[in-house]
Amino acid sequence: MDTDVLVIGFGKGGKTAAAALGRRRRRVVLVEQSDQMYGGTCPNVGCVPTKALVHHSRNRRPLDSAPEWYEHAVGEVQALTSTFRAGNYDALNNADTVTVITGKARFVDAHTVTVGGVPITAEHILINTGSTPVIPDIPGLAASKYTVTSTELIHEPSLPKRLAIVGGGYLGIEFASIYRQFGAQVTMFESQPRILRHEDDDIAAVAESILVGEGIDIIAGASVREIRDATVVYEKDGQEFTTEADAILAAAGRVPATEGLGLEAAGVRVTERGAVVVDEYLRTSQPHIFALGDVNGGPQFTYISLDDSRIVLDQLLGDGKRSTADRVAIPHTLFMTPPLATVGLTEREARAAGYRLKIARQPVAEIVAMPRAYVVEETRGVMKFVLDADTDEVLGAALLSVDAQELINTVALAMRNGVPASQLRDAVYTHPSSTEAFNEVLFTIVRED
């Protein structure tokens, strides 16, 4: 089979590029190794199912049976992901110039892969295979029948009564919040002295107080030494402790999915962690081969994979000027409840960079101009802005509040376009909304130096 463009992997970047190229009458073949992954990680085992579980967990009423509600939620989420999966498949496979093939692709040379013994040759190749969960090298963890990855856990219809989470990063915190709300006893182990170590101390402290207030047991500064069947053995402050669990979630992050691709046969270089090496235009060591999304070792977010597709499409269809260097003020969201969304520099980072700062900070419960927080009965959290005292530029923000995942996009847009903090503060926002909190918070300068 000969084609103009071969896309390996059905993730956000790959499918978006395939659809755009198909509309331009390029012959496209998209290969996906699993019929359960049409559309990629996000709609199948990532963003969509986990955020849907957040929604269902918050809808459980006090008298609802926790195991029954959880089983119902898992069924609802699986139905949702099936709908997305079918829609993704049909949208591409029904296109005149796009063919979807299910099977494992392996390179045999720089222009050819085989899928089920069938060679496919292409002028350009896009690698979009995503990432896979990491199982830390802890004795007994991989062998324990109680160990699960995030992918396995969200498909399990039985709610674990006791969930142990090895890892206190974004993944660990999100799952701790979800499963505690469903009714599980949750213990989260973090090797660092505190969770959210990349955030300012005041923001991390508020986030931790919310999690602990919900009944999550956070054991920071702990080293998990061994897993003995269903027993987690850990060390803290020089002493050894144990805790029992019905499920042990390995939440140590994800690594690029390049194993078995045969990249060496194509002359495509990878890093020690298996990420495909790319330049700012996402070209690999073979100029006609590109890598998009998690597989290239960049930030592991669906919206980054989408932007990767724009860069590659500009290379194949445009003037080739767009690059990863164009990205400014990229926001992130941790979907605990309420969510923590951040963008730009923390106060600590800004001070280290030598800025003279103004800090605007206010607890959500004290923001009079944000009645929406009271309307939806979610007044926990805090909003913080890091401002350049000399230019009134927004250097960064941390929003731990209801609707933070939406609010942060407004802040990021302002940062990208040089909108000063005073303009963000004095803008006219709808009422009642969460955005109008900016009218008040940005007036509340708590420090200037």
Domains along the chain with CATH numbers: 2-131+254-326 (3.50.50.60), 147-250 (3.50.50.60), 332-448 (3.30.390.30)
**What predicted TM-score, i.e. pTM, was given to this entire model?**
0.94
pLDDT, tens digit, 9 for 90 and up, residues 16-61 = 999 999 999 999 999 999 999 999 988 888 889 999 999 999 888 8
Helices (H), 160-239: 170-182, 201-213
Residue 449 confidence (pLDDT): 84
- pLDDT bin (cut points 50, 70, 90) of residue 228 is very high
- Beta strands 98-102 and 28-32 are parallel
Mean pLDDT along residues 166-181: 96
162 strand-pairing partners: 185
Helices (H), 183-301: 201-213, 263-266
Spatial separation of the C-alpha atoms in residues 287 and 281, rounded to whole Å: 10
Q: Are 120 and 7 in contact (CB under 8 A)?
A: no
How much of the chain, in percent, has pLDDT values that exceed 70?
100
Q: Are 13 and 308 in contact (CB under 8 A)?
A: yes
244 strand-pairing partners: 231
Q: Active-site positions?
A: 431
Q: Are 35 and 346 in contact (CB under 8 A)?
A: no
Residue 60 confidence (pLDDT): 86
pLDDT, tens digit, 9 for 90 and up, residues 318-369 = 999 999 999 999 999 999 999 999 999 999 999 999 999 999 999 999 999 9
Residue 447 confidence (pLDDT): 83
